[in-house]
Structures are given as structure tokens and as C-alpha cells.
């Protein structure tokens, strides 16, 4: 029954790909989109096999633990629908009637809770909703999540394809075919949702930056709302650049670096000052506590890829001091000297490939027709995200996964500054 249902939903989504106008895109045929979708579904099942045989404890295996916890929530729909909808929408979460359900779950509460919203709640709730369609079969969740992820990736592609004329194939690789994006973005994991909301945000944000209209603006705010609760550090990384990009788009490129610098300084001032209004939102202390908890957890779990990080103090100067090291940790880790499994091997070679691309782009740098506003926006987003990840993450394996949403944007920036004609001329000459 599970196989028939899974195949049935695959066929439904294939029909949607061919019928929905959103999938009619310059430089990417519907047939190619179909292949990408089927590739993601296949990798999703391969990921399930890896977690089934490599991580035998379902309560700690990411693709299963949220799926299993969602059953507890979903089953409540049949016994007490009122309690189900309370859990689904977060109403009276701490009441004595609701807490016993959460206590049955393995992942509703984190070992180290903080003022930052627990993003496990969203993925558990979404899996609970999917169970209305899946009847509890994991394969259906895999197909649904991959279609959601595909929409996000398609949105990212659509946002940039008109800005990168004659580089469509390079853009396809950057958005869809990076190993980390294929692997982590194709399972029943948070990364699929991240790509969806980041893609919806980017595509509609560029639209309102050109010509403001209500529908894209609403979608921008909806995507930001979900990013706030899904991964707040993604929101923190993307907002400064987005604000500056919009400012420059509306006012022109004159003094562009000053506009970006002023935006960054105002954003930092806001993060430092907010604790005086809301003491629990002490940005520096939150980062320091997050790092300490991550270090303790990695030691408790005996992680095999622990790396050296600068110990944070709960002040902004400590964050600034440790930021360069954090950035390069995220960019370079794991390296080829830290290979201890097939996963770190693939990640190390992906990092090496990205470094080679950066060097090639600097050698064959494109000076003409460079969209400086877009380039700074991309680099600022990647830089802030890499710094935040590197500051709090002492495990190379975790870094590989956390930086996945930034990699397409890093490669898009590389494509922007690479003079394709110079490379072709060099190849023809040789």
C-alpha cells in the first residue's frame, strides 16, 4: 500500500510540474525539472537507507525522529481533536492537558533549551499535517518534502536566471546539483523547508525591489515569519543585506558601500541594544550559551569531527574577535586531513571544489556589467551566515549541514564575477 501511495503522489506532482505555469522557466525545461524532482526523491530514499543502517537509533536519526514524534500528535486527532489543533497551532502549549503529549515525544524538548524558538516544533507539526495524506507511510513524506524543496530551489533559480544571462547551465549546477544541496535538501529534514522559504523570500523580494506590489510583499513577510521560527540565524544573516539591497535599488548605486556599511552598523547596534529593552534577548550571551551547549553536547555524543573554535565571551568584542576564524572554519571544514568517513570525504572534496572555483573566478574576473548591488548582497548573506555557524558549531559534520542553504548563493556570486568568455577563449587557445 505504501509503495502504491508513494508512486501515486509522484505521478500527481509530475502532472503539476507539467501543468503549473510556475515551472515554465527560461533556461530550464519542464523535462529537466522532472528529472531534478525524481533525482531528489531518489536521494531522499537513499538518505533514508543511510540513516536506517548507519544511525540505527530512530530517536536520534534526524529523518525519522520528527516523523515518529508527529505520529503522537496526529493520533490525538482521532482521540481528542481539540488537543490536536491546540498542539498544531501552539495554543496553551504549557497546559497540563497538552504537556503529557509532548512528554511522549523524543524531540519536542531540547536538552539545552534557550530563548530561541525550538525549530523542532515546526517540522513535527508539518509531518503531522502530512499524515492526513500519507496514512503514516514515510515514502509519501519524502515525496511531499522534496516537492516543497523543489519549489524553493526553482524560486531561487527564477530569481537569478534573468540576472545571469548566458550562464543558465552554471546556475542550474549552483542551485540544484551541489552534493550538499542534493543530499541534505532531499530528505524529510528542516533543510527542505529552509530552501522553500528562502526561495520564496528571494524571488518575491527581488520583485518588490524592482516594482512594489502587494502579493509579492505578502509572500516576503510570510516567508520571513516562518524563517524566524525555523532558523532565526538564517533570518539574521539575510536581513541586513536585503535592507541595504532594497535601499540601493530604490536610490541608485551612488555611495553603495556606504549604504551597506550604514545598514550593517545599524543592525549591529540593534542587536547590541535590544537587551536593554528585552533582557532575555542578549545577542552576545545567546551566542556564547549556544556555543557552550553545542560543545557540551558534542562531548556527550562523542562526536568524531570536533574542531577548534574560539571560546566566546558574552560580549560583542569577543564575537568580532572570533568572527574571522569562525568564517574560515565554516568555509574550509572539513578538510582532506579530517576525513574519517565517506560523508566527511565527500564534504571535504566539495569544499576543495568550492575553493578551486573561488580561485578560478578571481583569475578570470569579470569587470564589465557587474551588478555590484546584487554581488554585495550575496556575499554579505554568505559571510554573516558562515560567521554565525562557525561561532557556535564545534563539529565539522554539523557545519557541513548547517552551511548548505548558503552554498547556492556562494556559487551564484562566483558565477557572477567569473568571465565565461575568458575561460572559453583559454580553452580554445589550448
pLDDT (tens digit, 9 = 90+) per residue, 322-377?
999 999 999 998 877 766 677 778 888 999 999 999 999 998 888 778 899 999 99
Q: What is the pLDDT of residue 200?
A: 97
What's the rounded Cα separation, in Å, for the pair 333 and 342? 15
Residues 297 and 424 both lie in one domain? yes
Model pLDDT for residues 244-263, shown as the tens digit of each residue: 999 999 998 889 999 999 99
* Residue 302 banded pLDDT, cuts 50, 70, 90: low
Q: What is the pLDDT of residue 430?
A: 60
Burial of 239 (0-12, 13-18, 19+ CB in 10 A): middle
Residues 148 and 262 both lie in one domain? no
Residues 146 and 274 both lie in one domain? no
Does a structural domain hold residue 20? yes
Residues 218 and 263 both lie in one domain? no
What's the rounded Cα separation, in Å, for the pair 38 and 154? 14
408 contacts 414 by C-beta, under 8 angstroms: no
What are the residues whose beta carbons fall under 8 Å from the beta carbon of 398, sequence distance 6 or more? 294, 303
Per the structure, how many domains does the chain have?
2
Residues 362 and 291 both lie in one domain? yes
Q: What is the pLDDT of residue 304?
A: 65
Q: Is the pLDDT of residue 73 over 90?
A: yes
Q: What are the grid coordinates assigned to 251, written together?
A: 536610490
pTM of this prediction? 0.94
Does a structural domain hold residue 240? no
Q: Is the pLDDT of residue 303 over 70?
A: no
What are the residues whose beta carbons fall under 8 Å from the beta carbon of 123, sequence distance 6 or more? 66, 189, 190, 193
Residues 358 and 286 both lie in one domain? yes
Which of 18-32, 54-68, 158-172 shows the lowest per-residue confidence on average (mean pLDDT)?
54-68
Q: Is the pLDDT of residue 408 over 70?
A: yes
Tell me the Ramachandran region of residue 92: left when phi exceeds 0, alpha when psi lies from -120 to 50, beta otherwise: left
> If residue 45 lies in a helix (H) or strand (E), which one and from where to where?
helix 30-54
344 contacts 351 by C-beta, under 8 angstroms: no
Per cent of the chain over pLDDT 70 is 95
Residues 126 and 47 both lie in one domain? yes
Does a structural domain hold residue 125? yes
Q: Select from 165, 195, 230 the last residue of a domain.
A: 230
Q: Which domain covers residue 173, as residue numbers?
A: 1-230
The single residue listed with the C-alpha cell 557556535 is 392
88 contacts 128 by C-beta, under 8 angstroms: yes
Q: Is the pLDDT of residue 389 over 80?
A: yes
Residues 92 and 146 both lie in one domain? yes
Cα-based angle 312, 314, 316 (whole degrees, multiple of 5) = 90
What's the rounded Cα separation, in Å, for the pair 220 and 204? 6
Residues 143 and 274 both lie in one domain? no
Q: How far is CA 52 from each of CA 58, 334, 347, rounded to the nearest angstrom?
A: 8, 24, 21
Q: Is the pLDDT of residue 115 over 80?
A: no
Does a structural domain hold residue 242? no
Residues 83 and 180 both lie in one domain? yes
Residues 217 and 351 both lie in one domain? no
Residues 166 and 35 both lie in one domain? yes
Does a structural domain hold residue 126? yes
Q: What is the pLDDT of residue 53?
A: 73
Q: What is the pLDDT of residue 279?
A: 86
- For residue 98, whether the previous peptide bond is cis, meaning omega lies within 30 degrees of 0, is no
Model pLDDT for residues 199-236, shown as the tens digit of each residue: 999 999 999 998 888 999 999 999 999 999 899 999 99
Residue 302 has what DSSP assignment?
T
Does a structural domain hold residue 236? no
The percent helix, strand, coil of the chain (3-state, each to 5) is 75, 0, 25
* Residue 310 banded pLDDT, cuts 50, 70, 90: confident
Q: Is the pLDDT of residue 109 over 70?
A: yes
Does a structural domain hold residue 173? yes
Cα-based angle 293, 295, 299 (whole degrees, multiple of 5) = 115
User: Averaged over 399-404, what is the pLDDT?
Assistant: 92
Amino acid at each position: 500500500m505504501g509503495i502504491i501511495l508513494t508512486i501515486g503522489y509522484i505521478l500527481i506532482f509530475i502532472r503539476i510540474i507539467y501543468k503549473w505555469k510556475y515551472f515554465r522557466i527560461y533556461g530550464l525545461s519542464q523535462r529537466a525539472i522532472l528529472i531534478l524532482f525524481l533525482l531528489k526523491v531518489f536521494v531522499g530514499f537513499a538518505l533514508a537507507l543511510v540513516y536506517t543502517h548507519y544511525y540505527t537509533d530512530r530517536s536520534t536519526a534526524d529523518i525519522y525522529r520528527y516523523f515518529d514524534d508527529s505520529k503522537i500528535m496526529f493520533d490525538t486527532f482521532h482521540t481528542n481533536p481539540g488537543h490536536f489543533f491546540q498542539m498544531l497551532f501552539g495554543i496553551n502549549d504549557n497546559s497540563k492537558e497538552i504537556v503529557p503529549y509532548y512528554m511522549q515525544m523524543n524531540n519536542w524538548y531540547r536538552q539545552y533549551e534557550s530563548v530561541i524558538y525550538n525549530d523542532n516544533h515546526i517540522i513535527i507539526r508539518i509531518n503531522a499535517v502530512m499524515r492526513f495524506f500519507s496514512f503514516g507511510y514515510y515514502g509519501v513524506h519524502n515525496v511531499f518534502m522534496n516537492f516543497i524543496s523543489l519549489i524553493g530551489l526553482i524560486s531561487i533559480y527564477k530569481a537569478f536566471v534573468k540576472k545571469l544571462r548566458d550562464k543558465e547551465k552554471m546556475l542550474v549546477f549552483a542551485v540544484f546539483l551541489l552534493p550538499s544541496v542534493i543530499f541534505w535538501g532531499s530528505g524529510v529534514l528542516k533543510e527542505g523547508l529552509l530552501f522553500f522559504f528562502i526561495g520564496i523570500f528571494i524571488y518575491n523580494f527581488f520583485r518588490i525591489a524592482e516594482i512594489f506590489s502587494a502579493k509579492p510583499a505578502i509572500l516576503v513577510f510570510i516567508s520571513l515569519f516562518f524563517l524566524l521560527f525555523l532558523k532565526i540565524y538564517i533570518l539574521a544573516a539575510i536581513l541586513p543585506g536585503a535592507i541595504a539591497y532594497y535601499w540601493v535599488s530604490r536610490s541608485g548605486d551612488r555611495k553603495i558601500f556606504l549604504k551597506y556599511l550604514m545598514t550593517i552598523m545599524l543592525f549591529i547596534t540593534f542587536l547590541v541594544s535590544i537587551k536593554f529593552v528585552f533582557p532575555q534577548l542578549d545577542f552576545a550571551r545567546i551566542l556564547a550559551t549556544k556555543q557552550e551547549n553545542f560543545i557540551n553536547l558534542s562531548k556527550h555524543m562523542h562526536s568524531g569531527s570536533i574542531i577548534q573554535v574560539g571560546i566566546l565571551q558574552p560580549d560583542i568584542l569577543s564575537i568580532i574577535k572570533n568572527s574571522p576564524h569562525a568564517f574560515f572554519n565554516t568555509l574550509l571544514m572539513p578538510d582532506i586531513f579530517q576525513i574519517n568517513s565517506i560523508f566527511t570525504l565527500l564534504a571535504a572534496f566539495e569544499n576543495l571544489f568550492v575553493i578551486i572555483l573561488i580561485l578560478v573566478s578571481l583569475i578570470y574576473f569579470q569587470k564589465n556589467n557587474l551588478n555590484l548591488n546584487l554581488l554585495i548582497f550575496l556575499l554579505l548573506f554568505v559571510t554573516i551566515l558562515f560567521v554565525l555557524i562557525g561561532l557556535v558549531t564545534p563539529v565539522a559534520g554539523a557545519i557541513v549541514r548547517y552551511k548548505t542553504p548558503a552554498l547556492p548563493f556562494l556559487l551564484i556570486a562566483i558565477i557572477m564575477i567569473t568571465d565565461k568568455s575568458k575561460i572559453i577563449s583559454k580553452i580554445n587557445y589550448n
